[in-house]
Chains A and B, each alone.
Chain A
């Protein structure tokens, strides 16, 4: 299982636009990825409502996990999206 702990870079957290980009990328990867806010609920990272419902803010630490065979590469790509500031 691959896992990453990431600090969210977008100024306004994971709201509509960055959440959309992130969920689209999860869908494109074909992998089943789980997302949780550190110490909180776990949601399907491919669900925009699941992702938005975590209420992730700028600077929050989040955990991504996947059992996919190419898991390490998938999470590297997703981590890059999450650490980028899409509001800049």
Chain B
């Protein structure tokens, strides 16, 4: 990620990974950075004075957190209330008081005292380890109150602004008023970071992984161009006018109707929605979804101890299918394991759950649960007019494909396929698609397994980039196999929601694209700019690159060389 200076306009330009194709113009507000560590100089106040300062700071912070909790609901409120209790915790107060008695300042005692409990939580690992972040946030607030500084966190503003941060955690975004956020710039994070996923879901212009983001001062005017992955700092009047014109043009283009997805030469590429429950169906229809490309059924199984009954499941499937009469709806059977363990399927401890008994493997080990789900799906199919397709997650072998095809066939399900998320299934796609009626590529897991990088692990997030030519080559294998057998190949994953990558995926042989409904408009617009031959040329350019960043750059350069119709 480089920093260059535009000589003609004296405007600094920063670059990073753009999410989507949007443009934003506005003034910077910053998420405050973590406070410096309080120094270890002994206190000049008496212990009682220091303790009184802590008591006051803690009371202020706890009251503020409770007030914030009262403004939100659900998990966010629970987290904030738990944080207010952490601030006033008796064990912590005892620890801090004993440090002050030893002569340290209030600031240092709070820093060290919270640190002890933080390390204890991290030592517990897993869910408790994640609470360490909540505790850190409380510590920062108490120290800020002691030093008379503003509390760190999300800025508040009545004017719309561009939010600049190191990175955004879910706890930050829970309190963010998204109607005021014109765009996001983060120093950390990649295309699948929390910030990127949020931006895609809410259709907010975002540039992540911007090396120079720390130098963006509050109040500076910037232009974000997600398509180019650039942040233009302090633009000239002409540049700002140009940005305003492009924002208006894009709004006009995006509101230009909900035609079926198609390339510039008329090649139909149906655009489908990813849904996690039947409730989102109407929103997807409103956004012009031509069906559902991935319906996740995990929400039915949230109570980890017991599977839902056939009747409970059928009711939900009917509700979903009724929203899409005559349209395709692809339902994925239960995908448990790794990031979403369910006790009744597998309660054995696994050192590497992503490589463990998950997906179709877990269902096969509990075939009664799979049979019940297929029963409910077949019954819902008979009661409704949607075109129901059913697929299995995490299929690794041709044998698993045959197993699922045969079992689903027993229940009278007509269109049965598999998800391609494991490299072995992609490499043998010609044999997998000889058996299956269709394939749907889950790019998030396919990337994780291809790059051998846990997609939930921040330290290896840089590997989780679906632009990597190794991942794209596997997608190409599946696309080619689909063409040979005349079977549809869909994409359902973050990759399909990236407007430019979506064109590359079509060039690699994808016949449908499925994404969160908010991403449909941008992808629809992007497809209309390229012919199938051009999409294939873009795919060639990406496959020839050395890495993800090079592939993205090569495709941008190649695309810029095409004579495009006006946006």
Q: Interface on A for B, CB 8 Å cutoff?
A: 11-12, 15-17, 19-20, 23-24, 43-44, 46-50, 52-53, 55, 88
- The 24 listed contacts between A and B (C-beta, < 8 Å) are A11-B303, A15-B131, A16-B79, A16-B134, A19-B82, A20-B85, A24-B85, A44-B91, A47-B89, A48-B86, A48-B89, A49-B91, A49-B92, A49-B135, A50-B89, A50-B90, A52-B121, A52-B128, A52-B131, A53-B120, A53-B121, A55-B124, A55-B128, A88-B303
CB atoms of A16 and B92 under 8 A apart: no
* A/B pair count, beta carbons within 8 Å: 53
CB atoms of A17 and B82 under 8 A apart: yes
A15 CA / B483 CA spacing, docked (Å): 51
- Which B residues lie within 8 Å of A52 (CB)? 121, 128, 131
Residue among B89, B135, B303 having the largest count of chain A Cβ atoms under 10 Å: B89
CB atoms of B91 and A43 under 8 A apart: yes
A82 CA / B556 CA spacing, docked (Å): 57
Q: Kindly state the interface size class of chain B when it binds its partner.
A: 20 to 34
A15 CA / B134 CA spacing, docked (Å): 13
CB atoms of B91 and A20 under 8 A apart: no
Q: Interface on B for A, CB 8 Å cutoff?
A: 78-79, 81-82, 85-86, 89-92, 117, 120-121, 124, 127-128, 131, 134-135, 303-305, 343
- Which B residues lie within 8 Å of A46 (CB)? 90
Expressed in whole angstroms, the minimum distance between the Cβ of B344 and any Cβ of chain A is 12
CB atoms of B78 and A50 under 8 A apart: no
Residue among B79, B90, B343 having the largest count of chain A Cβ atoms under 10 Å: B90
- Which A residues lie within 8 Å of B85 (CB)? 20, 23-24, 48
CB atoms of B127 and A12 under 8 A apart: yes
Expressed in whole angstroms, the minimum distance between the Cβ of B69 and any Cβ of chain A is 11
Given A11-B304, A44-B91, A49-B92, are A16 and B82 neighbors across the interface (CB < 8 Å)?
yes
Expressed in whole angstroms, the minimum distance between the Cβ of A9 and any Cβ of chain B is 11
Expressed in whole angstroms, the minimum distance between the Cβ of B401 and any Cβ of chain A is 34
- Which A residues lie within 8 Å of B343 (CB)? 11
Please give me the 9 A-B residue pairs with the lowest Cβ-Cβ distance, nearest first. A47-B91, A55-B124, A50-B91, A48-B85, A16-B82, A47-B90, A49-B89, A20-B82, A17-B78
CB atoms of A15 and B128 under 8 A apart: yes
CB atoms of A16 and B131 under 8 A apart: yes
Expressed in whole angstroms, the minimum distance between the Cβ of B122 and any Cβ of chain A is 11
CB atoms of B78 and A20 under 8 A apart: yes
Expressed in whole angstroms, the minimum distance between the Cβ of B82 and any Cβ of chain A is 5
A55 CA / B127 CA spacing, docked (Å): 9
Expressed in whole angstroms, the minimum distance between the Cβ of A28 and any Cβ of chain B is 13
A79 CA / B124 CA spacing, docked (Å): 24
- Which A residues lie within 8 Å of B135 (CB)? 49
CB atoms of A47 and B92 under 8 A apart: yes
Expressed in whole angstroms, the minimum distance between the Cβ of B206 and any Cβ of chain A is 29
CB atoms of A53 and B78 under 8 A apart: no
Considering only CB atoms, which chain A residue lies closest to B127 in the complex?
A15
CB atoms of A53 and B124 under 8 A apart: yes
A43 CA / B90 CA spacing, docked (Å): 11
Contact of B305 among A11, A23, A53 (CB under 8 A): A11
Known: A11-B343, A52-B121. 7 other contacts (CB 8 A): A16-B79, A43-B91, A44-B91, A46-B90, A48-B86, A49-B117, A50-B89
Expressed in whole angstroms, the minimum distance between the Cβ of B303 and any Cβ of chain A is 6
- Which A residues lie within 8 Å of B117 (CB)? 49, 53
- Which B residues lie within 8 Å of A19 (CB)? 82
CB atoms of B90 and A16 under 8 A apart: no
Expressed in whole angstroms, the minimum distance between the Cβ of A17 and any Cβ of chain B is 5
Expressed in whole angstroms, the minimum distance between the Cβ of A29 and any Cβ of chain B is 14
Expressed in whole angstroms, the minimum distance between the Cβ of A59 and any Cβ of chain B is 10
Expressed in whole angstroms, the minimum distance between the Cβ of A50 and any Cβ of chain B is 4
Considering only CB atoms, which chain B residue lies closest to A17 in the complex?
B78
- Which B residues lie within 8 Å of A24 (CB)? 85
- Which B residues lie within 8 Å of A43 (CB)? 91
- Which A residues lie within 8 Å of B91 (CB)? 43-44, 47, 49-50
- Which B residues lie within 8 Å of A50 (CB)? 89-91
Expressed in whole angstroms, the minimum distance between the Cβ of B182 and any Cβ of chain A is 33
Expressed in whole angstroms, the minimum distance between the Cβ of B74 and any Cβ of chain A is 10
Considering only CB atoms, which chain B residue lies closest to A55 in the complex?
B124
Considering only CB atoms, which chain B residue lies closest to A46 in the complex?
B90
Considering only CB atoms, which chain A residue lies closest to B85 in the complex?
A48
A39 CA / B22 CA spacing, docked (Å): 58
- Which B residues lie within 8 Å of A48 (CB)? 82, 85-86, 89
Considering only CB atoms, which chain A residue lies closest to B303 in the complex?
A88
Residue among A12, A17, A43 having the largest count of chain B Cβ atoms under 10 Å: A17
